[in-house]
Structure 1
């Protein structure tokens, strides 16, 4: 057998996949009718020290290309032959779209030079001939530029021997780092191969759209496609990874390098679109990350529409008939980069990728970091999606006409959020995520082993009840799985020895929050409801005092949902339907009771905690609150920081830097955390604060000015109608007004600290701090403006002196 499942002792039935005629060895892939997952990597991995004979045998099999290792007869269009890259390059450079853009740009430039007098003073036919000659020169130059762009961008599928060696190298790295292997669903793999076969017959592409949490994402998916005999996809990668040696390796393994920002470069944009067209026209598989960059927080990011827009335009234009969308979820027991992510989120500048850092990652190769689970949503036709979208948007006639650009934008958003929804549907919650979530959602310093196991079993049941998936571990007891997860988390979790029971506690809460956030999407609706109820429950007292009227609940739920619309992916049923479903679910779980005005009409009057929930110390209700509180805290922090940007006297027209404002919020948050006014250190993370500032911009609370020329950074100021008043005597910001009321609406759902209460005294302390930091920003901004004016004046004087000499 070429592969065996580690979780099953008996020999499973076999399904033939491909035959290597030269070696006459049939490659088979096991089928498991009742197994949720199986490992595709470690069964073919052997340590030299453990079994040198098997180790050398595996190397020999890969070198000779025996069986599936030959990568012959793959499902998809032919790749890995001499001349493949050159043929693809010619298709790009000769595409009608790119040719038309080059002609357009050359005409535009020649006309501009002619109007400026750079083409001479001739008139009539001579002038036209001169301009045409100049246009041809420019066109030739643009062709050379496009040729260079393609050379730096294009992937270079050329050598099967290279890809066999690359697969073996990557398999060794993955198997040593993730010692429990790469696990997949047998049913999903069979379905993927079935769709891949249909796509190959119709010369259509599979477009893999994975989530992105680690550099391992694209390595593991390429390895998986190789192992399954599916044509490797061309993978979109940022050109920051195109550094010596590693860049060439990635390019030959399928990497397509593009700039992080195109900066309005029309030629570069047309070249990328032409490349995407060439890939999809040829039926070659394609991969890009729906979130753009890696998620530093663990949860799914909002979709990025750059490359997704190029894919959509290929079909909208009619240049490509159809392609298949394959949403992919990649989940880890432990992500290699989380320590680096924490540094970035705390404001430590990101280190640029280079060869030294890449080689330095070899320190992870001897670690046991658990396993990787890759899940595939059922592939679907992009053309069918577009047709369905257009038919739904057509609707009844007589309404206002919608422009084509608006239709495209709405279609693009719908596509992005559907993919995110599909990724969430198939995502598997790993044991480390369960452990991290439980440790971060319990009151007290630590938790005993038995209680940890009990809460993990409760959480697993809740995940399944919500339609989610929990990683299968071959029928092992929960306590065994927990022990494995704790071993993988290592020093992120501490254990207190010498007690009556093993007791565990969170050592690095910030890093553990990454694993908590990997499953928060399952409970977003419940967390919003819990935070809205907390506005009354935190008052304490009897049952009636903590009872929440439905209209009060709905108002706060609506507010929080709008506040976090850029942070989480919400269900698409609408807020009324979603709230009703959530309340019904919480009542079925015996967390709350619902009081009805009219039982027959099911018209809700109020909600309250159930007696069972009170008897168990609110542990289930608190779980939902603990999930959302760090995010509420971060939004509150951003709000009070914005309050600190109230301009001092004489600075009403001064703009401050957006980045500097966010840095100020983070510095203020760190100070407030250590002073006890913020409960969660992860609330100061840079990404959530950036999302908060973006949300305030959308709400019109702040104005953002972005430069259209040069590299001037974005600037920020409070909108006039949101600017708080200052005390005419002391000059201090007065905690009242429209902005303060907005911040208070966030604050009423915050967790109250053990040694504090939300009060005027807290507001005074916080405002004093952020006002001090904000005043410093304004002073710095005015100093920069003064320096720029002086530099400009100096340049003007130099220009005058040069002209006088002439």
Structure 2
């Protein structure tokens, strides 16, 4: 925790946009923003600081920035003019106008069709109509564009906005925004070179809070760099706040385009204009905010526009800059928990936005922003195309839409991998991870400090980084983190010989644990696979797992969790071997090889003797990390039994394939089933019932062909779902569900890696109890939601079962 010396505030920070001390340590960290003086306690100082921003003294003037000129009168009008002159937009308006004229011609609205219709007066009428429609499309485009583009027209405005945002942010995050001096110095160099070439910096941050875009804007302003145009969903464009954000750099886009053929072209033209003129851009690759604390899978919608700008040749190059933003405590976590437990997400409005003021007086710790090494988008494209050529990728992939899709996928996952590499693990994440990976009810202060030190070593061994605190002991950092988390998250028992702590709200605490979980996914999967044998007990030889069985089960779990985690781009076997070597080096496991040479083929894996002697402390740590997600997968598969038609429905229709249910209602009932299983002791982790984990579990079931989903073209019509006939469970003579068939076998395979708990070994009793509860929860689902007929829309029948069948030895 204290291996590197840091500086809380570099010299001359008030007058220079960046630290200028060339002798400063390369790993130096700085607190970029200090709280302003408060009017109540120091009115003269507060007025002085406000005046410095109004009159633009020193760096506050924001007059000499690195990048293209912004915040001048007429900026937005100039941008609108350039967008409307884009050839692609003008061509698309012409195409749409011609289509409409043809439609009206065949409707008989523009004269006769045929030889008579070729008379000059009819051709003139059609041309006038075409020009009229083009004019209407232009008016619509200009109206949409005015609501879309950022309006950086006033330097006075941005000075005031910076002052106000800093006031609010530094009151909530009392320890300020921290950055790496080395990273910032390098970023400024890259920005200067990009400005010289008139190229854009495309910032791609992770997204955990609304504070994300505020903090990056403040950093760019403070460092004298051109503020990026922030791509934002129009759900935030509500009265007063929407206009404020738009003038501070936000551009509003629709959350979905539907079948609109003009809007995507308008958006592409705006992106082209920004990149052609070297304006910086910021967008969130995950789409929405992560409610779970870990990175979400990439959303390719907006990335597609940036990639198209370069692939089409309209833009020579752009510089990609992945950004990681980490928090001691996230303002919105309380609302995230409510949403994950099934409460509908509230609509964004002024009241909910201003409600954030309730937390401004709290001490939420600090914000750490880290920048990955920026890289060329053109260079990335050339490298990937060269790699595909060397690998003799099929011709249909190398051409047209196939190439774009392959490049887009690789780009998305590359950015997320870089964000993970750049991120730091905050003290609150360390505390949360330790408290949620202990077997006991609580932990003493000395043991908590010891485990935090151990975890810091593990993070660094995995290539991760821990947030730096200048000269502070681990105990002091732990105390600060406990204060930030507060008694609602971490309980403490006083009056004992040693102060003892425990996780008060495990569900909310999991958000902070998940910020570090990406570093240990491979190791956790290996330990979960080995646990399938360890939990059976017996002698050491009885708990040994062959490498073949281990590899199959790790592959099986990896397939289940492909929507949960960002995996390494290395081949599975290569990644597995590396993780095994690391676990063996740390004395967590022992590996048996075919010969005495460590380079020979691996035959088996077992617990290291050191783990047996120490009560499996480190081995359990990795298992505890992954068990909640295994529980969620198991719950998702058990919930598929809810789709089994009751006997009377089968007898009424005579055709089980004709019965479809509302997909959203199924997910809601699955949560209810999970909560009941948790409180009755058949589910170990309450966080397994969270909406995102269940959604991923159902998506995996859909991909594997376990369930079929019918989706309508009408976005307002809910999707409908049913079990594939192949996975439909059977009933016994009394009409009860039986624990047999392909669906139950799949549940059992997942359950092999689950944590031992109440009644986990009582076999038939568990089966009867769980399936009986499924019948009880599913009764209302079927009574209120059953519908006959396949409904409208297409049914996905993907059968990607590769990786879902484990070896027979594991059955």
Which TM-score bucket, shorter chain as reference?
A: over 0.9
CA distance 1:709–1:15, change in 2 (3 Å): closer
Name the structure 2 match of 1:344.
339
Which residue of the other structure, out of 672, 681, 690, is the alignment partner of 1:676? 681
Q: How does 1:32-111 map to 2 (within 5 A)?
A: 32-42=24-34, 45-111=36-102
Secondary structure at the aligned position of 1:184 is classed as: strand
CA distance 1:345–1:303, change in 2 (3 Å): same
For structure 2, the 5+ residue unaligned runs are 793-811
Q: Distance in 2 between matches of 1:246 and 1:345?
A: 26
1:750 matched to 2:754? The reply is: yes
| Preserved CA contact (<8 Å) 2:588 2:611 | yes
Q: Deviations over 1:307-344 (max 9, x none)?
A: 10000000000000000000000000000000000000
**CA drift at 1:705:** 1.4
Name the structure 2 match of 1:266.
261
| Preserved CA contact (<8 Å) 1:647 1:775 | no
Name the structure 1 match of 2:314.
319
Query: Larger RCO: Structure 1 or Structure 2 (Cα < 8 Å, ≥ 6 residues apart)?
Result: 2
**CA drift at 1:716:** 1.2
1:125 matched to 2:121? The reply is: no
1:473 matched to 2:465? The reply is: no
Q: Distance in 1 between matches of 2:110 and 2:763?
A: 73
CA distance 1:15–1:204, change in 2 (3 Å): farther
CA distance 1:111–1:700, change in 2 (3 Å): same
| Preserved CA contact (<8 Å) 2:188 2:225 | yes
1:531 matched to 2:528? The reply is: yes
Name the structure 2 match of 1:247.
242
Secondary structure at the aligned position of 2:52 is classed as: helix
Q: Deviations over 1:98-129 (max 9, x none)?
A: 11111111111221222233334463224444
Q: Deviations over 1:23-69 (max 9, x none)?
A: xxxx8555631544210001x63233444333222112111100100
Q: Distance in 2 between matches of 1:255 and 1:269?
A: 18
Secondary structure at the aligned position of 1:266 is classed as: coil
**CA drift at 1:785:** 7.6
Q: CA RMSD in A?
A: 2.1
773-782 or 573-582: bigger deviation: 773-782
Q: Distance in 2 between matches of 1:288 and 1:13?
A: 32
Q: Distance in 2 between matches of 1:421 and 1:182?
A: 23
| Preserved CA contact (<8 Å) 1:590 1:613 | yes
Q: What TM-score does the superposition give when structure 1 sets the normalisation length?
A: 0.93
CA distance 1:129–1:713, change in 2 (3 Å): farther
For structure 1, the 5+ residue unaligned runs are 19-26, 789-806
| Preserved CA contact (<8 Å) 1:15 1:29 | no
Which residue of the other structure, out of 436, 439, 450, is the alignment partner of 1:443? 439
1:769 matched to 2:769? The reply is: no
57-66 or 229-238: bigger deviation: 57-66
Name the structure 1 match of 2:104.
113
Q: Distance in 1 between matches of 2:408 and 2:222?
A: 33
707-716 or 482-491: bigger deviation: 707-716
1:589 matched to 2:586? The reply is: yes
Secondary structure at the aligned position of 1:652 is classed as: helix
Which residue of the other structure, out of 413, 421, 427, is the alignment partner of 2:423? 427
CA distance 1:586–1:765, change in 2 (3 Å): same
**CA drift at 1:359:** 1.5
1:551 matched to 2:548? The reply is: yes
**CA drift at 1:780:** 2.6
Q: Distance in 2 between matches of 1:299 and 1:28?
A: 32
**CA drift at 1:358:** 1.4
Q: Distance in 1 between matches of 2:274 and 2:736?
A: 61
The runs of 4+ residues in structure 1 deviating greater than 6 Å are: 13-16, 784-788
Name the structure 2 match of 1:8.
7
Secondary structure at the aligned position of 1:495 is classed as: strand
Q: Distance in 1 between matches of 2:466 and 2:725?
A: 50
| Preserved CA contact (<8 Å) 1:654 1:778 | no
Q: Distance in 2 between matches of 1:154 and 1:11?
A: 37
Secondary structure at the aligned position of 1:335 is classed as: coil
| Preserved CA contact (<8 Å) 1:644 1:767 | no
**CA drift at 1:717:** 1.4
**CA drift at 1:725:** 2.3
| Preserved CA contact (<8 Å) 2:591 2:602 | yes
Q: How does 1:633-782 map to 2 (within 5 A)?
A: 633-648=631-646, 649=650, 650=653, 651-709=656-714, 711-727=716-732, 729-757=733-761, 759-782=763-786
CA distance 1:179–1:489, change in 2 (3 Å): same
Q: What TM-score does the superposition give when structure 2 sets the normalisation length?
A: 0.92
Q: Distance in 2 between matches of 1:242 and 1:781?
A: 36
Q: Distance in 2 between matches of 1:266 and 1:29?
A: 51
